[in-house]
Amino acid sequence: MLQAPCPQCGAPLTFRSVGLPIIVCDYCRSTVMRTGDRLARTGSSSGVPETVSPLMIGTEGQDGDAPFTLIGRIRWLWGATPENDNVAQGCWTEWLMLYGDSSFGWLAEAGGRLMLSRRTAIHRNNGIVQTLHAGGAVAVGERCKIDGVVYRVNDARWAVSAGCDGEIPFAAPPGERIYSVDLAAGDGRFMSFQRHDDQVEAYAGQMVRLQQLKPRGLRELPGWQAPAWVQAQTAA
């Protein structure tokens, strides 16, 4: 773990990851880029507004046998277009997971569901990937077969960043746009394609319940009684 002062305000920045280029200062909301040992302010970021979620930066858990820590998050709003006066139709939060082997994953929190995914290889001959590369839109309900598993598109939407916190792999200033396609399979497997500028990235994983991640260090929520399994986890 590396500590260094924020180039803007001098507050301590704590890097849990080795390779992530971006960190958002908790104090002055500066977006700080790390290049080698150098830190430079590249812009400012609005923080993620108060969210009633038990997850927070620093929460630890288990993805199967692999321990992870949440180190950053980006909040995305979707459906906000100039045509509808930039009113968001929905939102989700992506938590960046740092695994013990220094690899990364995303834990998406959307409409009360959790989807865990890790970056995967792009299948160039996949129809959806080709559509995305061509800049086109994907239809909800469309099916595709990836590595022998039949998936169906259950979400396809433009989203804009609405703030980030902690360490993240790319600068996501407010208003940054991505096109996100979610696919789900009958057995709970999950895939996501994201187009950011000209880049298309693929993520594969599964839908999960919070309890099965055996989370520790969850946020306490005033006015709410943590479920028994959380209390047992905390005591353990």
Partner 1 sequence: MSVTALVCPKCGAPVRVTAAGRSISVVCGNCASTLDAATPELRLLAEGAAALSVPEIPLGTRGTLAGVEWEAIGYLERSADGDGWREYLLFNPWEGYAWLVDSGSFAFGAAILAEPETIERTARIGNQLWQGKRRYDAQVDLALGEFYWRVAVGETVAVAEYMLGSETLSMERGSEGVSWTLLTPQDPGVVETAFGIAPRMPADPPVPGLTSLWPQMLVVATIAFLALTLVDAVFQSSDPVEVAQLEVPINGTVVSQSAGPIDLPRGRNYVVIRAVPVEGQLDNEWLDLDYTLVNRRSQASYPVSAVAERYRGVDADGPWTEGVERPQVSMAAVPGGRYDLIVEATGQRWQSQYRPDTDQPDRKRLVVMLETGGTDASFYWLAALLLFLWPIILLIMNGDKPEQEDEW
Query: Which chain residues interact with partner 1 by CB under 8 A?
Result: 48-54, 75, 77-79, 87-91, 93, 109, 111-114, 140-141, 150-152, 154-157, 162, 184-188, 206-211, 218, 221-228, 230
Residue number, 32 or 202, with CB nearest to partner 1? 202
- Reported in sequence order, the residue ranges of the chain that DSSP labels E, i.e. its strands, are 2-5, 12-15, 22-24, 30-35, 38-44, 60-63, 66-78, 90-99, 104-110, 113-120, 143-146, 149-168, 177-185, 189-196, 199-208
Residue number, 33 or 88, with CB nearest to partner 1? 88
Least CB distance from residue 93 to partner 1, whole Å?
Answer: 8
Angle at alpha carbon of residue 122, lines to 129 and 173, rounded to 5°: 80
Least CB distance from residue 84 to partner 1, whole Å?
Answer: 9
Residue number, 20 or 115, with CB nearest to partner 1? 115
Residue number, 41 or 152, with CB nearest to partner 1? 152
CA distance 145 to 194: 18
Q: Which two tokens stand for residue 198?
A: 């000209």
Least CB distance from residue 126 to partner 1, whole Å?
Answer: 18
φ, ψ dihedrals at 142, nearest 5°: -65, 140
Least CB distance from residue 8 to partner 1, whole Å?
Answer: 23
Least CB distance from residue 83 to partner 1, whole Å?
Answer: 13
